[in-house]
Copies of this chain bind each other. A is one copy, B any other.
Amino acid sequence: MCAISFYIQFANTEDKQEFSKYPTKAGRRSLSRSISQSSTDSYSSAASYTDSSDDETSPRDKTQVNSHGSIDFCVKNIKQAEFGRREIEIAEQDMSALISLRKRAQGEKPLAGAKIVGCTHITAQTAVLIETLVALGAQCRWTACNIYSTQNEVAAALAETGVPVFAWKGESEDDFWWCIDRCVNTEGWQANMILDDGGDLTHWVYKKYPSVFKKVRGIVEESVTGVHRLYQLSKAGRLCVPAMNVNDSVTKQKFDNLYCCRESILDGLKRTTDIMFGGKQVVVCGYGEVGKGCCTALKALGAIVCITEIDPICALQACMDGFRVVKLSEVIRQMDVVITCTGNKNVVTREQLDRMKNGCIVCNMGHSNTEIDVASLRSPELTWERVRSQVDHIIWPDGKRVVLLAEGRLLNLSCSTVPTFVLSITATTQALALIELFNAPEGRYKQDVYLLPKKMDEYVASLHLPNFDAHLTELTDEQAKYMGLNKNGPFKPNYYR
């Protein structure tokens, strides 16, 4: 969640696993699963038309055919296509930036010739992305980056229109890799672009189909984890294709962190605990973008917020924004709510948990699920009581209760939702990155990991302005000259964030 921390983390730490030292399945899977869970939650409010008493036959064992006679897909039930289409149509209404991109670029087909394999969550929003890529000329094959998050009816709708999709909700470990392989390994068709979320697809191609990998024109990677793996590969000198890190674009970062968290901290706390914010004493650990978002929202609703920081520049900003900067131990006894947003680990320790007052709520908005030392709470003298989904009371021997949300995992993914608008920004960024890499003149991008060029970043932003009926001002020639700028941007230097 906190871009800057990630950079620091990945840039400086020496003891990183190399990409090729593949994590054990167990390890990776459990990581993946914890993300799965979050992701599943995050889409939980979407209607599901999947009959729960659905037949239990594995999709791999069924023969299905779409109305055009194709059997090159594997989904739960092709008959759900109509329901899925409706979901996609509703999603389109909130993703006007992609639709607009579709219209603007449809004539020139900038992805004509692109053969994209994709591995992402398969939801209505992703479907809008895929169909946009197709509209721009690409051929796509798709699989899921998560064994739980597929919306079956959406997968069916895609398959029905002819996109080879290999994914269903509730895949096994084995299914997961089988689907990836089916996606890549097909006769008479060789991928030349990769769109990945987590790095599993990239890894699979790299390992199993090195000859395909070498001919890929570009990789677009969405997740922190996947980006990390790419940087490792690059460091090890094994990245033989240009890759684009779309996780760290300015627009996406602002939305994922500042704007999204400003809303989801309230939503996550309210849905789980029905807390009244007015007058509550809250400590927010970390005053990066996520922390800033949380503090702004809580203060606006009448909470009394203080912060902890390790970095004097952020601390000084907190002061100027009206927040007391404290050490956690100084204030822990008085707090009603403790929120972590540091990207670090053991920010809230067992000793501090011991000193919290009865009823104190503890949750994590940061990156890692080790910010709160939850493991230390799994000890015999403490009783865990699950009072609602995602809400545990940890009860001390003297009866004191601490309210732990989402077991210390990301509150905003576990207990809130990601607005479609934010997903639209991500999807648009992915589409533009694919276009950029596919169309870049030979040699512009080397075998390295790139950030999205500022101009594309600005274009993503501009495509979303109509949602707000916002009207940009255009530089006059004279002004552009005075500023030394091109009238169409980029307006920001590359290091701007």
Closest to A467 in B: B279
**Complex: A469 Cα to B333 Cα, angstroms:** 12
Question: A185 → chain B, closest Cβ, in Å?
Answer: 38
Q: Is A327 an interface residue (CB 8 A)?
A: yes
Which of B325, B346, B469 meets A472, CB within 8 Å? B325
A12, B323: Cβ atoms closer than 8 Å = no
A297-330 interface with B by 8 A CB criterion: 297, 299-304, 308-328, 330
Q: Which of B47, B263, B314, B387 contacts A47 (CB 8 A)?
A: B387
> For the complex, is A439 an interface residue (Cβ under 8 Å from B)?
no
Query: Which chain B residue shows the least CB distance to A481?
Result: B13
In the complex, whether A468 has a CB less than 8 A from a CB of chain B is: yes
Known: A461-B313, A470-B315, A483-B5. A279 touches B320 (CB 8 A): yes
- Please indicate the chain B residues that have their CB under 8 angstroms from the CB of A254 in the complex: 316-317, 320
Type the 1/0 row for A1-42, where 1 means its CB is closer than 8 Å to any CB of B: 000110111111110000000000000000000000000000
Inter-chain CA distance A259–B303, complex, in Å, is 12
Asked whether A276 lies within 8 Å of B422 as measured between CB atoms, the reply is yes
CB–CB A326/B457 < 8 A? no
B-facing residues in A452-472 (Cβ within 8 Å): 457-459, 461-462, 464-465, 467-472
CA distance A473 to B308 in the complex (A): 6
A72 beta carbon closer than 8 Å to chain B: no
A325 vs B464: C-alpha distance in the bound complex, in angstroms?
Answer: 13
Whether B313 contacts A457 by the Cβ 8 Å rule is yes
CA distance A281 to B323 in the complex (A): 10
Q: In the bound complex, do residue A330 and residue B471 qualify as a contact, i.e. CB atoms below 8 Å apart?
A: yes
A270–B270 alpha-carbon span in the complex (Å): 10
Do A473 and B278 touch (CB < 8 A)? no
Interface size grouping (class) on chain A: 35 or more
Inter-chain contact A319/B263, CB cutoff 8 Å = no
In the complex, which of the residues B271, B274, B319, B496 contacts A420, with contact meaning CB atoms closer than 8 Å?
B274
Contact: A9 with B270, CB < 8 Å?
no
Chain A 362-391 per-residue mask, 1 if CB under 8 angstroms from chain B, else 0 = 000000000000000000000000011000
Given A45-B274, A308-B473, decide whether A313 and B458 contact each other with a Cβ distance below 8 A. Answer: yes
Partner of A266, one of B10, B266, B465: B266
Q: Among the listed B11, B251, B263, B334, which residue makes an inter-chain contact with A278, where contact means beta carbons less than 8 Å apart? A: B263
B309 touches A345 (CB 8 A): no
Residues of B within 8 A of A471 (CB): 325-327, 330
A478 an interface residue at 8 Å Cβ cutoff? yes
A484: interface (CB < 8 Å):
yes
Q: Could you tell me if A313 and B492 are in contact, using CB atoms closer than 8 angstroms? A: yes
Residues in B neighbouring A458, C-beta threshold 8 A: 311-313
B contact residues around A63 at 8 Å (CB): none
Residue of B nearest to A268 (CB): B270
With an 8 A cutoff between CB atoms, is A262 at the interface?
yes
CB neighbours (8 Å) of A296 from chain B are 300
Q: Whole-angstrom distance between the alpha carbons of A270 and B278 in the complex?
A: 18
A237 within 8 A of partner (CB) = no
Separation of A419 and B495 alpha carbons in the complex (Å):
30
Contacts of A459 in B (CB 8 A): 312
Select from chain B the residue with minimum beta-carbon distance to A421.
B276
The winner among A279, A344, A457, A471 for most chain B CB atoms within 10 A is A279
Enumerate chain B residues within 8 angstroms of A57, measured Cβ to Cβ. Answer: none
In the complex, chain B residues whose CB is within 8 Å of the CB of A319: 278-279, 302, 465, 468, 470
Does any Cβ of B come within 8 Å of A250's Cβ?
Answer: yes
> In this assembly, does A105 line the interface, its C-beta being within 8 Å of a C-beta of chain B?
no
A93, A313, A417: residue with the most chain B Cβ atoms closer than 10 Å: A313
A-B contact pairs, 10 of them (CB 8 A): A47-B388, A93-B401, A274-B419, A279-B467, A310-B475, A312-B465, A312-B489, A313-B458, A319-B468, A345-B478
The 7 closest A-B pairs by CB, nearest first: A12-B484, A300-B300, A13-B484, A325-B470, A312-B462, A279-B319, A278-B320
